[in-house]
Structure 1
Amino acid sequence: MSIEELLEKYKGAYASDFEAPSASGSKTSSESEVSGDEEVETEEDESDVESNTSSSGIKLLINTQSKLSGSQLFHLSLQQKVKTPIPFLLHGTLREYQHIGLDWLVTMYEKKLNGILADEMGLGKTIQTIALLAHLACNWGPHLIIVPTSVMLNWEMELKRWCPGFKILTYFGSQKERNLARIRNENDTNPNAFHVCITSYKLVLQDHQAFRRKSWRYLILDEAQNIKNFKSQRWQSLLNFNSHRRLLLTGTPLQNSLMELWSLMHFLMPHVFQSHREFKEWFSNPLTGMIEGSQEYNEGLVKRLHKVLRPFLLRRIKADVEKQMPKKYEHVVRCRLSKRQRFLYDDFMAQASGHFMSVINILMQLRKVCNHPNLFDPRPIHTVSEHGGDSRRRATLHTLLRKLKAGGHRVLIFTQMTRMLDVLEQFLNYHGHIYLRLDGSTRVEQRQALMERFNADRRIFCFILSTRSGGVGVNLTGADTVVFYDSDWNPTMDAQAQDRCHRIGQTRDVHIYRLISERTVEENILKKANQKRMLGDMAIEGGNFTTAFFKQVSCLHKACCVK
């Protein structure tokens, strides 16, 4: 695709801000739609992915000149007149920023653009998406929504609540049940047998041949960080689905590396974000160097990245749109190792240095020691004192919980290890705390019941959860305190987990306590996590990805046309 064609294709979004090369004539691009038929090689063959048009697409975006500062852009977005009415099929009231989000989504659809709705967790991306589908009622679909297994039921409930006029197919169950569901729908001559199909990432991969045969109006991925790895079978398979439009929903568009963001952008706009190598050289390597301290901060480079991303990404954070939102305070609680823990830790380090072991295995064993020595070296508990004496961290937790309970607080406790949940259950039972538990073995239908029970019953003091299973699709505003008994390797997993209670509906300030063992590998993990958070803050949070930019350039384009 030539620069002229690219400029014409995306002119409705931001053409007036392009500094396009002069041309004797302007070519009109046919309105091709992203169907995901392009084949993408793995990183080893990334040189074969490059094309003459790939660099032109990103360079054209880099030449975008924003006329307003970041703060001006945000305040302008609040003053913009929203053109899109609330859909008559929608049952319920949208908050002001959600209405603005709907307007952005509709504008993207009308401009034939794909995008990322990246609002911070807890701001209602699900509701804004349902509002978009309600707006498109004349184009009933079918739409395909792919979600983590844990939130399938939540999506179905929200669709039925907000848009009961939709016919919904929730695609799950055994292989036999899924086969019967497909046969019923294939034999149904009614083109509107269902309007929205909800399924999981796991099932869509297992039955991808059936999903690829169908033409979808919208392909929507919830928790879109699930396709952050462009080498994965999941990314490769979904890339080739036949869809008119694509929408990604994620509160954490960037987790570990800037290249994860390229994976999302290529999935949406393969003609613009085609060059993996160039994106890595231009943005990923330099920004990583800035974070790690090997390169000086380059403000111009960061601004260029924001210009490249801004037309396709909308992100609002709670502090900006929810002025009445309670505050969030984070605390790092450092714990010493007990004598037994220190012995096991140092002894394992000495042995590991003389044996070939994978780094990940070494780190996992050390983290077991930090959590509780019995996870590393099991032995029965015989005395009352052993409930806290073997692990200083658990003793610290006991002191913290006692203070929180006396203050009338309710607590979510997250850990990565299922066996640690077993230890915590033993601990909570011993001290007489009423609690609930949720982990990877909890069935989908049970999750909703546990969530409702915790929020409704103030007698339940604690909810213990595994970070990966309990960190998404759960609303636990009944708690006002989060304790990370151990930290996830990926800081965005912890961010998702803590927002289970710091979200719309919370009425109290939220305090986050992170337990860290001193003079251990956990201090290095925390340092690395902070670097990853800094990368996200630099690449995403500093970009002011509000609707103001989108609307501003549309207005400028109209002004140019009048002239």
Structure 2
Amino acid sequence: RFEYLLKQTEVFAHFIQPAAQKTPTSPLKMKPGRPRIKKDEKQNLLSLIVANERLLTDVKNGKLRDYQVRGLNWLISLYENGINGILADEMGLGKTLQTISLLGYMKHYRNIPGPHMVLVPKSTLYNWMNEFKRWVPSLRAVCLIGDRDERTAFVRDTLLPGEWDVCVTSYEMVIIERAVFKKFNWRYLVIDEAHRIKNEKSKLSEIVREFKTTNRLLLTGTPLQNNLHELWALLNFLLPDVFNSSEIYNLQLTNLLMLQVLRPFLLRRIKADVEKSLLPKKEIKMYIGLSKMQREWYTKILMKDIDILNSAGKMDKMRLLNVLMQLRKCCNHPYLFDGAEPGPPYTTDLHLVVNSGKMAVLDKLLPKLKEQGSRVLIFSQMTRVLDILEDYCMWRNYGYCRLDGQTPHEERQISINAFNEPNSSKFLFMLSTRAGGLGINLATADVVIIYDSDWNPQVDLQAMDRAHRIGQKKQVRVFRFITENTVEERIVERAEMKLRLDSIVIQQGRLVDPNTSKLGKDEMLSIIRHGATHVFASKESEITDEDIDAILERGEKKVGPDPGK
């Protein structure tokens, strides 16, 4: 079965290779007079060439880079050879633009206006619509979102009459309106953040497989860290006739064989290789002590489950995870626990800062960044931390925007626009890590603060890339807050180890063993125990009066090589 697959990939590679060597058929590379075009097509083609010339030369609106032109030609070659593929460029390299250019090529050069579907996370719907209007306004893009009445009116008045080329919608809408979408014969089905369908048994994955489509394109900036079965799910979606059995992926495949299977279907470039104008981001880890109140709460949490620490109690996985979560909350701010904040009456005052080590450092760092003319993104996984940060911003009179998973669809874009507009009064943008990591462009900020780190290092990298992307003119600085001698130190260590492993694996064309990414009971216990003795040793605050420059200097000395490189 595997030999058969390899023969298939050789066939696909054979098709693609000559296509790249022939006289290119992309309008971007066309020579005058070739190929012959009917009179009624000339105007359409001319408008596309003019549009693309503008993309290549107009500095104000950004320009189509060389590697993006190559990406577009690669996508066209897939289309010409009847192959579906994965555009896996690193985050921030313009997968959206390359996709829109492909759909523009389909309409103006192939005379195939649609219908196309672009399936995206809810947080990026407006961004996609704006990009369509900006780059190829002749593509009639419509957006399906809203409550039941709005959707019913949209389907009746817009979708079914068919006066459009591209329908942009979210994962949730596709599940709700599946019956409507199944009525169409889709030309291109594009799925953004395609790792959402890595489980072929998920509801979304099953539904998109039911749609009638001619071509399929997956977009994902997340490097291939999937186990073999998850990879098979993506390939099965792209080419169900070839990858119709997951049994062969139970084999342990060698690096070279795995690379041969993937090569024809996947294009991946990384920023360091292709985007020379973008300065590399600089990450500084800021090691922070616990406040007196944090030490008391940290001790209280550990004492409540002291039998676990002494290996006397039953090591239930859910119980261990709960202890870990409580300790992480304590590292962020003790006010996340009921009864910790003094009151009633509840007032926003200096106690908000002095009772949390991270807030104390933040209160020293932000004035320095503001003085330097920087603008800041703050990411936290906990929306209640964002609530505390909001109180802090109002108290210190910092202009801010906020975005989390509960932010209504319309408000998301209003906040993003308010932050990005020239001479904006918004100094800070606070986001929940997972809600703010997908396709959102906040390159007007040049400082990223990771208030608490995610177990999955890719999530934090995605968050940083909201600022570190095309259009960024300054060097992006990332400040990662880590509470010393607590579970946070071990969580960051584990994430970095995973990132190093992933990068080695990707470079060699292998895939991560799924067992290496699972968090076992013994490892959880080890993380919980880390620093416990240190916390028990004293009840005094570890927050120092040290100047912010000294804290930064200490962080720079401790920082090692960037594991993401």
Sort the TM-score into its range (normalised by shorter chain).
0.7 to 0.9
Q: 1:252 to 1:80 in 2, by over 3 A?
A: farther
Alignment pair present for 1:324 and 2:277:
yes
Determine the C-alpha separation between the residues in 2 that align with 1:533 and 1:166. 39
Q: How does 1:224-373 map to 2 (within 5 A)?
A: 224-254=194-224, 257=227, 259-283=229-253, 301-352=254-305, 353=308, 354=313, 357-373=318-334
Moved more, 122-131 or 163-172: 163-172
Match of 1:182 in 2: 155
Give deviations 1:318-365, integer Å, cap 9, x for gaps: 121111112211122222222322232232133233586444333222
Match of 2:449 in 1: 483
Determine the C-alpha separation between the residues in 2 that align with 1:174 and 1:534. 44
| Residue of structure 2 aligned with 1:203, choices 143, 168, 173 | 173
Alpha-carbon deviation of 1:209?
2.2
Q: How does 1:451-462 map to 2 (within 5 A)?
A: 451-455=416-420, 456-462=422-428
Match of 2:360 in 1: 395
Whichever residue aligns with residue 271 of structure 2, its letter is K
Does the CA contact (< 8 Å) of 2:259 and 2:509 recur in 1?
yes
Determine the C-alpha separation between the residues in 2 that align with 1:187 and 1:432. 50
Match of 2:88 in 1: 118
Match of 1:528 in 2: 494
Determine the C-alpha separation between the residues in 1 that align with 2:214 and 2:491. 42
Does the CA contact (< 8 Å) of 1:302 and 1:538 recur in 2?
no
Determine the C-alpha separation between the residues in 1 that align with 2:251 and 2:471. 43
Does the CA contact (< 8 Å) of 2:445 and 2:467 recur in 1?
yes
Q: Specify the SS of the correspondent of 1:526.
A: helix
Match of 1:167 in 2: 140
Match of 1:47 in 2: none
Match of 1:411 in 2: 376
Q: Specify the SS of the correspondent of 1:454.
A: helix
The Cα RMSD (Å) is 2.9
Does the CA contact (< 8 Å) of 2:285 and 2:482 recur in 1?
yes
Determine the C-alpha separation between the residues in 1 that align with 2:326 and 2:4. 57
Q: 1:267 to 1:394 in 2, by over 3 A?
A: same
Q: 1:495 to 1:88 in 2, by over 3 A?
A: farther
Give deviations 1:466-525, integer Å, cap 9, x for gaps: 112222232111111100101123222211111111111111111111111222222232
Does the CA contact (< 8 Å) of 2:9 and 2:260 recur in 1?
no
Match of 1:380 in 2: 341
Q: Percent identity?
A: 45
Q: TM-score, normalised by structure 2?
A: 0.75
Q: 1:520 to 1:331 in 2, by over 3 A?
A: same
Whichever residue aligns with residue 276 of structure 1, its letter is S
Match of 2:548 in 1: none
Does the CA contact (< 8 Å) of 1:306 and 1:540 recur in 2?
no
Q: 1:258 to 1:136 in 2, by over 3 A?
A: same
Match of 2:504 in 1: 538
Does the CA contact (< 8 Å) of 1:221 and 1:248 recur in 2?
yes
Alignment pair present for 1:432 and 2:374:
no
Does the CA contact (< 8 Å) of 1:414 and 1:486 recur in 2?
yes
Q: How does 1:441-460 map to 2 (within 5 A)?
A: 441-455=406-420, 456-460=422-426
Q: Specify the SS of the correspondent of 1:468.
A: coil
Q: 1:159 to 1:533 in 2, by over 3 A?
A: same
Match of 1:50 in 2: none
| Residue of structure 1 aligned with 2:121, choices 148, 152, 158 | 148
Give deviations 1:28-76, integer Å, cap 9, x for gaps: xxxxxxxxxxxxxxxxxxxxxxxxxxxxxxxxxxxxxxxxxxxxxxxxx
Q: 1:476 to 1:149 in 2, by over 3 A?
A: same
Q: 1:213 to 1:383 in 2, by over 3 A?
A: closer
Q: Specify the SS of the correspondent of 2:434.
A: helix
Does the CA contact (< 8 Å) of 1:434 and 1:459 recur in 2?
yes
Does the CA contact (< 8 Å) of 1:255 and 1:490 recur in 2?
no
Structure 2: tracts of 5 or more residues without a match: 29-44, 56-63, 511-565
Determine the C-alpha separation between the residues in 1 that align with 2:348 and 2:13. 69
Q: 1:378 to 1:265 in 2, by over 3 A?
A: farther
Determine the C-alpha separation between the residues in 1 that align with 2:160 and 2:175. 23
Whichever residue aligns with residue 282 of structure 2, its letter is Y
Does the CA contact (< 8 Å) of 1:10 and 1:111 recur in 2?
no
Q: How does 1:213-232 map to 2 (within 5 A)?
A: 213-232=183-202
Alpha-carbon deviation of 1:185?
5.6
Determine the C-alpha separation between the residues in 2 that align with 1:84 and 1:518. 55
Determine the C-alpha separation between the residues in 1 that align with 2:204 and 2:474. 40
Determine the C-alpha separation between the residues in 2 that align with 1:465 and 1:420. 10
Counting matched residue pairs gives 464
Does the CA contact (< 8 Å) of 1:7 and 1:15 recur in 2?
no
Q: 1:9 to 1:112 in 2, by over 3 A?
A: farther
Alpha-carbon deviation of 1:102?
0.6
Moved more, 146-155 or 102-111: 146-155
Match of 2:41 in 1: none
Does the CA contact (< 8 Å) of 2:377 and 2:447 recur in 1?
yes
Whichever residue aligns with residue 139 of structure 1, its letter is I
Q: How does 1:21-170 map to 2 (within 5 A)?
A: 83-86=25-28, 88-90=46-48, 91=51, 92-93=54-55, 94-137=64-107, 138-170=111-143
Alpha-carbon deviation of 1:268?
1.3
Determine the C-alpha separation between the residues in 2 that align with 1:265 and 1:5. 12
Q: 1:305 to 1:333 in 2, by over 3 A?
A: farther
Determine the C-alpha separation between the residues in 2 that align with 1:279 and 1:389. 54
The one of the two structures with greater contact order (alpha-carbon pairs below 8 A, sep at least 6) is 1
Alpha-carbon deviation of 1:538?
2.9
Does the CA contact (< 8 Å) of 1:122 and 1:499 recur in 2?
yes
Whichever residue aligns with residue 143 of structure 1, its letter is H
Q: TM-score, normalised by structure 1?
A: 0.76
